[in-house]
């Protein structure tokens, strides 16, 4: 009950930004027409994942910590509801961008490449949930301005270490064959891809939620 109300509260908090969000959703449409339809899904969801942390900024500016102290709610419930709120937004954005994909596919190409669309959707949602899972513990532990800087850190690290590492590993033939094999397997079995995508997403979100609860800032 309280969690449902807290999710609604988050939606209310985002209210001032609704117009801006809608305008920004034009971007995938443009991208889809100009560039690649699949990429439009990816860009939309990645964008949403980054934009979502603004809810922390709004709630911090509006003294919501004092509000949570006054309302009959537990801090744990506040954290869980924030994750649920974000999941709802990501899923909703996924549905919208997929619908956009379908419409534009029909309008521009006359046919719908379901496989490609599905792949991009699954991948985008996974990436979006990963972004959220990595960022949120920072936002729950530090004030917004600090957290914003700190949450970039994992990506920078991934990039700095990950890209050269991947390049190095890919030079290794057997490694490359295994990776390609895995990618092909998922490509051929859409259902498996979707299910594992959902499972991994839920898993990382849950782990992130637990971490947030454990390390959250306890003093206001």
Partner 1 sequence: MIEISNLSKNFKDFSLHNVSFTLPDGFIMGLVGKNGAGKTTTIKLILELLQKETGTIKVFGNEIKDNFDMKQDIAVVFDDLFFVEDWKISDVESAISPFYIRWNSSTFHGYLEKFNLATNKKVKELSKGMKIKLMLAVALSHKARLLILDEPTSVLDPVARDELLDILLQYIEDENNSILFSTHITSDLDKIADYLTIMNNGNIFYTGIKDELFEKYCIVKGGLETLTSEIENHLIGLKKGTTGFSALLDIQNMKYIASGMITEKATIDDILIYINSEK
Q: Give the residues lining the site for partner 1 (CB under 8 A).
A: 2, 5, 8-9, 12-13, 15-16, 58, 61-67, 69-74, 218-220
What's CA 129's distance to the chain center, in Å?
Answer: 4
Let me know if 212 is exposed, middle or buried by CB neighbors in 10 A (0-12, 13-18, 19+).
buried
When the beta carbons of 64 and 139 are compared against partner 1, the nearer one is: 64
Rounded CA separation 4/78 (Å): 10
Q: How far is the CB of 51 from partner 1 (least distance, A)?
A: 17
34 vs 220, which CB is nearer to partner 1? 220
Q: Which residue has the tokens 């988050």?
A: 10
Question: Least distance in Å: CB of 88 to partner 1?
Answer: 17
Picking from 132, 162, 167, 157, the residue whose alpha carbon sits closest to that of residue 56 is 132
Nearer to partner 1, 7 or 104 (CB): 7
Whichever of 62 and 145 has its CB closer to partner 1, that residue is 62
In total, the chain counts a number of residues equal to: 220
Burial of 13 (C-beta count, 10 Å sphere; 0-12/13-18/19+): buried
User: Whose Cβ is closer to partner 1: residue 41's or residue 55's?
Assistant: 55
Rounded-to-integer distance, Cα 193 and Cα 120, Å: 11
CB of 186 to partner 1, least distance (A): 42
- Residue with Cβ nearer partner 1 (56 or 98): 56
User: Least separation, in Å, of the C-beta of 3 and partner 1?
Assistant: 11
Q: Shortest gap between Cβ of 81 and partner 1 (angstroms)?
A: 12
- Minimum distance between the CB of residue 36 and partner 1, rounded to whole angstroms? 36
Q: Specify whether the CB–CB gap between 142 and 150 falls below 8 A.
A: yes
Question: What gap in Å lies between CA 150 and CA 24, rounded to an integer?
Answer: 25
In 108-162, which ranges are continuous DSSP H helix? 114-141, 144-157
């Amino acid at each position: 009950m309280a969690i449902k109300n807290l999710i609604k509260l988050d939606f209310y908090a985002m209210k001032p930004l609704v117009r801006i969000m809608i305008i920004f959703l034009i971007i995938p449409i443009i991208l889809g027409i100009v560039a690649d339809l699949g990429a439009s899904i990816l860009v939309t969801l990645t964008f949403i994942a980054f934009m979502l942390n603004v809810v922390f900024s709004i709630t911090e500016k509006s003294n919501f910590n004092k509000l949570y102290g006054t309302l009959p709610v537990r801090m744990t419930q506040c954290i869980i509801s924030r994750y649920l709120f974000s999941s709802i937004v990501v899923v909703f954005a996924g549905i919208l961008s997929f619908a956009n994909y379908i419409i534009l596919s029909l309008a521009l190409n006359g046919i719908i490449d379901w496989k490609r669309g599905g792949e991009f959707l699954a991948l985008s949602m996974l990436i979006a949930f990963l972004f959220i899972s990595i960022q949120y513990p920072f936002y729950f532990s530090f004030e917004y301005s600090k957290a914003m800087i700190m949450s970039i850190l994992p990506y920078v690290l991934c990039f700095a270490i990950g890209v050269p590492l991947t390049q190095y590993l890919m030079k290794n033939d057997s490694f490359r064959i295994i990776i390609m094999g895995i990618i092909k397997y998922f490509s051929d079995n859409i259902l498996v891809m979707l299910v594992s995508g959902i499972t991994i997403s839920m898993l990382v979100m849950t782990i992130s939620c637990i971490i947030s609860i454990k390390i959250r800032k306890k003093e206001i």
